Amino acid sequence: MAGRRRTWTLEQKLAMVAQMERCGNVAAFAREHDIRTSLLYTWRRELRYALEASQPVEHETGPAFIPVVVDCPKPLSEDVAIEVEVAVAVVRIGRAAKPDLAAAVLKTLQVQR
């Protein structure tokens, strides 16, 4: 096995993984086919990942709730209506702030994380 690099087609890999799953001793199967067991397990893992990626993602149909933790060690100014902590930034949104501006700032901070 040492010093030799072979290329395998997708069909060959799938066939080997299928045969490996049916056999009782993977090490003996690998020796019979002159291949390393780690390569067989890698192919099996890649097949599993490909199958998982091809499955449609089920989204929740209802609203998502996020727990809110209130911790205000220092008093807020009279103008601040809400304080949001995003990653390492703290955003204080004043009462007179336009909603679309506040949303844009929060969205920008979330993207930069």
Spatial neighbors of 85 by CB under 8 A, at least 6 apart, are 91
Which DSSP symbol is given to 66? -
Residue 37 in this model has a pLDDT that exceeds 90? yes
Spatial neighbors of 37 by CB under 8 A, at least 6 apart, are 26, 27, 30
Phi, psi for residue 90 in degrees, rounded to 5:
-120, 125
The tens digit of pLDDT for each residue in 40-80 reads 999 999 988 888 877 776 665 666 666 666 665 665 566 77
Note whether 84 and 102 are within 8 A (CB). Answer: no
The tens digit of pLDDT for each residue in 78-92 reads 677 777 777 667 777
Of the ranges 15-19, 60-64, 79-83, 102-106, the best mean pLDDT one: 15-19
